[in-house]
Amino acid sequence: MNPAVASRPRVVLTIGKFDGVHLGHRVLAATTVERADAYGAEPTAMVIDPHPAEVLSGVRVPLLTTFAERANALRDAGLARIDRLRFDGALALLSPAAFLDHLTSRYELAGVVVGPDFAFGQDRAGDVAFLQRAGSHRGFELRVVEPVLIQGERVASGLIRARVARGDIAAAARLLGRPPHMRGRVVAGARRGRTLGYPTANLEPVADYVIPADGVYACTVRWLDREGRPQRAGGAASIGTRPTFDDGPRSVEVHLLDRSEDLYGLTLTVDWLARLRGEQRFADVSDLLVAMAGDVARTRTILAALADATDDEGYS
For every residue of 29-75, DSSP letters joined together read: HHHHHHHHHHHT-EEEEEEEES-HHHHHT-----BSS-HHHHHHHHH
Using alpha carbons, select from 153, 140, 15 the residue that is nearest to residue 84: 15
Sign of CA dihedral 96, 97, 103, 109: positive
Q: Give the pLDDT band of residue 4 (cuts 50, 70, 90).
A: very low
Task: Give the three-state DSSP class for 161.
Answer: helix
Residue 313 has pLDDT above 70, yes or no: no
Does 8-153 carry CATH code 3.40.630.30? no
State the alpha helices, DSSP H only, in the chain: 3-6, 23-39, 52-56, 67-76, 89-92, 96-106, 128-138, 157-165, 169-176, 192-196, 285-312
Which residues are bridge partners to 305 per DSSP?
A: none
Alpha carbon of 8 to those of 80, 100, 110: distances in Å?
15, 14, 12
pLDDT computed for residue 122 by the predictor: 87
Residue 316 has pLDDT above 70, yes or no: no
The fraction of the chain above a pLDDT of 90, given in percent, is 78
Q: Which residues contact 171 (CB under 8 A, 6 or more apart)?
A: 153, 163
pLDDT (average), residues 111-128: 92
Residue 310 has pLDDT above 80, yes or no: no
Q: Which of 62-71, 182-191, 288-297 has the lowest mean pLDDT?
A: 182-191
- Measure the CA–CA gap between 186 and 106, rounded to whole angstroms: 41
Domain ranges of the chain: 8-153, 180-312
pLDDT tens digit sequence for 239-281 = 998 877 776 789 999 999 999 889 999 999 999 999 999 998 8
Q: Give the pLDDT band of residue 80 (cuts 50, 70, 90).
A: very high
- Measure the CA–CA gap between 202 and 250, rounded to whole angstroms: 11
Using alpha carbons, select from 207, 215, 214 the residue that is nearest to residue 269: 207
Q: Give the pLDDT band of residue 191 (cuts 50, 70, 90).
A: low
At the top level of CATH, the class of 180-312 is mainly beta
